[in-house]
Amino acid sequence: MAMKHFLLLAGALAMMAIPAAAQPIDAKVQARIDRILEATPLIDGHNDLPEQLRENYGLSVEGLASGADRRPDHPLMTDMARLREGRVGGQFWSVYIPSEVTGDTAIRATLEQIDIVRRLVKAYPKDLELARTADDILRIHKAGKVASLIGVEGGHQIGGSLAALRAYYDLGARYMTLTHFKNNEFADSATDDPKWNGLNDFGRAVVHEMNRLGMLVDLSHVSPETMADAIESSRAPVIFSHSDARALSDHPRNVPDDILKKLPANGGVVMVNFYTGHLSEPYRRWSAEHAAEGARLDTLYVGQPEIRKAKLAEWEKAHVAPKAEIGLIADHIEHIVKIAGHDNVGLGGDLDGIGYEDAPPGMNSVSGYPLLFAELIRRGWSDADLAKLAGGNLLRVMRRAEAVAASMKNEPPATATLQPRAATDAWK
Q: What is the pLDDT of residues 21-77, one digit of tens each?
A: 456 899 999 999 999 999 999 999 999 999 999 999 999 999 999 865 556 778 899
208, 242, 278, 342: the catalytic one is 242
The helix (run of H) or strand (run of E) holding residue 258 is helix 257-260
Q: Is 153 a catalytic residue?
A: yes
Q: DSSP state, 245?
A: B
Q: Note the Cα 405 to chain centre separation in Å.
A: 25
DSSP track, 350-384: -BTSS-GGGS-TT-SSTT-HHHHHHHHHHTT--HH
79, 153, 325, 352: the catalytic one is 153
46, 156, 208, 335: the catalytic one is 46
What pLDDT is stored for residue 1 in this prediction? Answer: 36
Average pLDDT over residues 177-186: 97
DSSP track, 39-108: HS-EEEEEE-HHHHHHHHSTT---S-SSS----TTS--S--HHHHHHTTEEEEEEEE---TT--HHHHHH
What is the CA angle 60-361-78, rounded to 5?
15
Q: How confident is the model at residue 195 (pLDDT cuts 50, 70, 90)?
A: very high
221, 251, 278, 332: the catalytic one is 221
Average pLDDT over residues 336-364: 96
156, 180, 208, 332: the catalytic one is 180
Q: Which carries the bigger pLDDT value, residue 355 or residue 135?
A: 135
Beta bridge partners of 47: 93, 351
What CA–CA distance (Å, rounded) separates 58 from 77? 17
Residue ranges with strand state E in 178-303:
216-218, 239-243, 269-272
Q: How confident is the model at residue 223 (pLDDT cuts 50, 70, 90)?
A: very high
What pLDDT is stored for residue 424 in this prediction? Answer: 52
What CA–CA distance (Å, rounded) separates 62 from 120? 8
Q: How confident is the model at residue 141 (pLDDT cuts 50, 70, 90)?
A: very high
DSSP-derived 3-state class of residue 129: strand
Half-sphere exposure of 135 (CA within 13 A, CB side): 2
Percentage of the chain with pLDDT > 70? 91
Q: Is the pLDDT of residue 271 over 70?
A: yes
What CA–CA distance (Å, rounded) separates 51 from 54? 5
What pLDDT is stored for residue 70 in this prediction? Answer: 59
Average pLDDT over residues 150-173: 98
8 Å CB contact between 423 and 156: no
Q: Is 46 a catalytic residue?
A: yes
Quote the mean pLDDT of the chain: 92
Give how far Cα 43 sits from Cα of 147, 349, 369, Å.
8, 10, 11
Q: Is the pLDDT of residue 259 over 70?
A: yes
What pLDDT is stored for residue 419 in this prediction? Answer: 58
What pLDDT is stored for residue 29 in this prediction? Answer: 97
What CA–CA distance (Å, rounded) separates 19 from 179? 36
Q: Note the Cα 414 to chain centre separation in Å.
A: 29
Q: Note the Cα 262 to chain centre separation in Å.
A: 21
What pLDDT is stored for residue 75 in this prediction? Answer: 87
Q: Is the pLDDT of residue 253 over 70?
A: yes
What pLDDT is stored for residue 12 in this prediction? Answer: 32
What pLDDT is stored for residue 277 in this prediction? Answer: 96
Average pLDDT over residues 118-145: 98
Q: Is the pLDDT of residue 88 over 80?
A: yes
What pLDDT is stored for residue 356 in this prediction? Answer: 86
Total-model pTM: 0.91
Q: Is 350 a catalytic residue?
A: yes
Average pLDDT over residues 94-105: 96
pLDDT per residue as tens digits for the range 9-19: 233 333 333 34
185, 343, 350, 358: the catalytic one is 350
What pLDDT is stored for residue 68 in this prediction? Answer: 57
Selection from 368, 410, 275 nearest residue 42 by Cα: 368
DSSP-derived 3-state class of residue 286: helix
What pLDDT is stored for residue 3 in this prediction? Answer: 36
What pLDDT is stored for residue 368 in this prediction? Answer: 97
* The residue count for the chain: 428
Average pLDDT over residues 228-251: 98
DSSP-derived 3-state class of residue 175: strand
Q: Is 180 a catalytic residue?
A: yes
Q: Is the pLDDT of residue 371 over 90?
A: yes
